[in-house]
Amino acid sequence: MKNNFKEDFLWGASSSAFQIEGAWDEDGKGMTVADFNSFKKSDVQADTKVASDFYHHFKEDISLMKELGMKTYRFSISWARIIPDGDGKVNQKGIDFYNKVIDLLLENDILPFITLYHFDLPFTLVEKYNGWESRDCVDAFERYAKVCFEAYGDRVKNWQTINEQNLMIRVNERMNIYNVPSENIEKVRAQMDYHMFVAHARATNACREMIPGGKIGPAVSSTMTYPSSNRPEDVWAAQMNDNFKTNYALEMYCFGEYPGYYKEYLTKCDLYPITKPEDEEVLKAAKPDFIAVNYYRTLVASYLPTNDSHSFGTKLKDIDFDLYGYFQIEKNPNLKATEYGAQIDPMGLRLVLNNYYEKYRYPLIITENGLGTADNLTDDGLIHDDYRINYLKDHIAACNDAIADGVELFGYCPWSVMDLLSSHQGFKKRYGFIYVDRVDHDVKELRRIKKDSFYWYKDVIKNNGLN
């Protein structure tokens, strides 16, 4: 097979602050929504208090990244470490921590690729404003972004605004939608979603003004949906599932407005958010420099008509929701799934990359892709994760094929650089190239152990591609 990866292709890996850092309240950091939610589950799984303890192990961990050969490290900054209450005083110790991380990455020839917001809104903003429901949260995010650009923009040129807004908005816990009457939840959700788009746009425009040579873009949770049959209604339903779960957001990021099908849905269901006249210019000016793609699986959908019990626009479930008048999710009998239910489909990645590039014509980078499952230490202290190697090998081959198809793909950063805290499964579900020797309720010594996949990926990077 021909190797289609360019010599300057950015091979890397990813993480997020609340899942890796620990030190949840050290050196002035405030509590986040992610902290709050993890503490509610502390009796059954690990929480954010220690996580993988990157905060105290970052020198060792970056040394391992250097050994792996990483060209870039995609990670997030904790907003509450920089501004503990979200919109008040800047915490210099937080600024200093990320300065140390960034400088050490650059000393090791690893480009920092920073996400500003990855599911961890400062909890004080929830208490003061109900988070993203308020315009005050938009102002707070713009200020936070500018603080980061000012502090790090002389060295960091690659930025992401918000990670997986299109997925985050579907999960009440991540948005901290509590104590809202059920009949108002979708209205509140639509307003929060719109405010995040405005915040993304303001941060994007600020990056252009403040960082010479800076590049910035959104990170989406990609959706690739197959029709359950060749009935025209099912083909349409599959397309609408992609539209409602990802494409509407890409339309807003790339063109500055909701597409027609989404406007119709919001209007018919009386969900249209409150907007301001000046937003239009801000949104349309905020063209991305690239689109970051997070890819794990594909879906199948069939047409779901309304009935006497379910009117147009009635929604069931959250992440993979069904929507009456549009679509319902089915199981794909042609794919194998992980132990946690995600169906494995490398071809879906090739299709996603082609679809996004053909439609939007922006360069693409994969900032998440990986296999989450349990790993077991052997008696001699090794981790043989051939299952992860096979998964990643097949998905890298799909990237290679997509480039041959004409897609401008400039980087691949799988999830994750090391084992980290899973939002739903603690440390039972592992993704990393590096094993972190801890379990949910015993942090042990947090020893770092290189898995078989570490050595395999090291060769992939060394060979610039297929291995």
- Rounded CA gap, 116 and 141, in Å? 9
CB 174 within 8 A of CB 118: no
- Rounded CA gap, 177 and 130, in Å? 8
Is-cis flag, bond preceding 416, omega within 30? yes
Counts of helices then strands in the chain (DSSP H, E): 17, 15
Catalytic residues: 164, 368
Task: Provide DSSP, 199-264.
Answer: HHHHHHHHHHHHSTT-EEEEEEE---EEESSS-HHHHHHHHHHHIIIIIHHHHHHHHSS--HHHHH
Alpha helices in 30-134 (DSSP H): 33-39, 54-68, 79-82, 92-107, 123-129
Amino acid at 267: T
- Rounded CA gap, 460 and 48, in Å? 32
**DSSP element (H, E) containing 449:** strand 442-450
Pull the structure tokens for residue 60: 């060792």
CA atoms within 13 A on the CB side of 5: 23
Residue tagged 């097949």 (tokens)? 394
- Rounded CA gap, 420 and 22, in Å? 10
**Neighbouring residues of 432: CB distance < 8 A, sequence distance ≥ 6:** 416, 417, 418, 419, 420, 451
- Rounded CA gap, 192 and 436, in Å? 36
